[in-house]
Amino acid sequence: MKILAIESSCDETAAAVVREGVILSNVVATQMKVHAEYGGVVPELAAREHLSNVLPVVNQALSDAGMSAKNLDWIAATQGPGLPPALMVGYQAAQHMAFALGMPLLGVQHHEAHLYSPWIHPEEARLETEAFEPHISLVVSGGHTMLVWVRAPMDHGVVGATIDDAAGECFDKTAKMIGLPYPGGPVMDRLAAEGDPKAIDFPRPMLKDSGLDFSFSGLKTAVRYHLEKHPERLQSPDSLKDVCASVQAAITDVLVAKTLRAAQKHAVGMVTVSGGVACNRGLREALGQACEHQGLRLRVAQPIYCTDNAAMVGTLATWRIRLGTTPTPREEGIRAGWMLDEKA
């Protein structure tokens, strides 16, 4: 079974070819420089870049895989959620290809693709379904932060989510406050590695709440008030590193505590982590230490599969097709507000 997968939910145009669960190619065209001057993704600009990139990226993915489009069996693409103008480019390209080639189409839920990305083998670039076991998954990025109880393959439910800002958004917006370039999250992570995480005692929102939901808008406000009161914090490289380390510690402390609480509540022995923020060094280290202390097994998606990519779309499509999923009607449009708990 050979699948061409396409992803364009935000600001990466991506395509991949997956054969029997093995990733043969994985091509990503980023738009980071296009959006940097605006400090965030501009949907209309993203769509324009996708229009320029989608065919070259698809052709490159096919070439890298040594495959012709006529040799494919399925076309898969992110159907939602995401920015509507961006989603439409990749998904309509997939629709047109499926129609022209007479192949079945599978619309994939973006968060679900992240959810199962830790099951891509880190060295062999293949879907590792045989290692599956029930687990709690932390899916965390700029657009979403959620805890998911995965009972069996494709049998999962959200047990906790942010009630306002996502963790990645908190990283990026606090980074912007302190003058870091876009995207600020990775820059903050690098600076935090050299700072003191205990220098500033920022609040840990909802940490003591018995539930599994998150809230990060109050932390952003606390950082802004602190910097207004102590502008000297931004005057030297060392104090700037301390601010970054303290913000990162506040976010990761909450993410780690809630994840462990969910694992205990649902009596699982494994935790997985995925999404763009899963690249964060501080989070990976803190969660790794906490899981080891609690006797939990941990699988973290490889960085190449944490940020938006089409390999995760293709491997999820492979898994779903193996389990007997039916094709998506070719005339069905994008689902920009598609929630993880909604049926495919």
Q: Tell me the per-residue pLDDT of 101-121, one tens digit each, with 9 for 90 and over.
A: 999 999 999 999 999 999 999
Confidence of residue 143 (pLDDT cuts 50, 70, 90): confident
Q: What is the residue range of 191's domain?
A: 134-300
Is the residue at 256 inside a domain?
Answer: yes
**β-strand 74-80 against 105-109: which pairing, if any?**
parallel
Q: Tens digit of pLDDT for each residue in 205-262?
A: 999 888 999 999 999 999 999 999 999 999 999 999 999 999 999 999 999 999 999 9
User: Which domain CATH number covers 230?
Assistant: 3.30.420.40
Is the residue at 79 inside a domain?
Answer: yes
Interatomic CA distance for residues 23 and 314, integer angstroms: 8
Whether residues 150 and 292 fall in one domain: yes
Count structural domains, the chain.
Answer: 2
Confidence of residue 38 (pLDDT cuts 50, 70, 90): confident
The pair of structure tokens assigned to 156 is 């999962």
The pair of structure tokens assigned to 179 is 């003058």
Whether residues 171 and 210 fall in one domain: yes
Interatomic CA distance for residues 167 and 140, integer angstroms: 7
Is the residue at 143 inside a domain?
Answer: yes
Q: How high does pLDDT run on average in the chain? A: 95
Whether residues 145 and 289 fall in one domain: yes
pLDDT value at position 90?
Answer: 98
Is the residue at 24 inside a domain?
Answer: yes
Percentage, residues of the chain above pLDDT 90: 91
pLDDT value at position 1?
Answer: 96
Reference 314, options 53, 30, 2, 88; nearest CA is: 2
Whether residues 184 and 76 fall in one domain: no
Confidence of residue 36 (pLDDT cuts 50, 70, 90): confident
Whether residues 212 and 157 fall in one domain: yes
Interhelix angle 167-177/184-192, rounded to 10 degrees, is 80
3-state secondary structure of 166: coil
Mean pLDDT of 177-183: 89
pLDDT value at position 344?
Answer: 60
Confidence of residue 17 (pLDDT cuts 50, 70, 90): very high
Q: Give the residue carrying structure tokens 């808008």.
A: 217
Is the residue at 277 inside a domain?
Answer: yes
**Torsion sign over Cα 203, 207, 169, 195:** positive
Reference 50, options 17, 25, 82, 73; nearest CA is: 82
Is the residue at 128 inside a domain?
Answer: no
Given a cut of 90, is residue 343 above it in pLDDT? no
Is the residue at 342 inside a domain?
Answer: no
Whether residues 92 and 154 fall in one domain: no
Q: Tens digit of pLDDT for each residue in 280-332?
A: 999 999 999 999 999 999 999 999 999 999 999 999 999 999 999 999 999 99
pLDDT value at position 180?
Answer: 92
Percentage, residues of the chain above pLDDT 70: 99
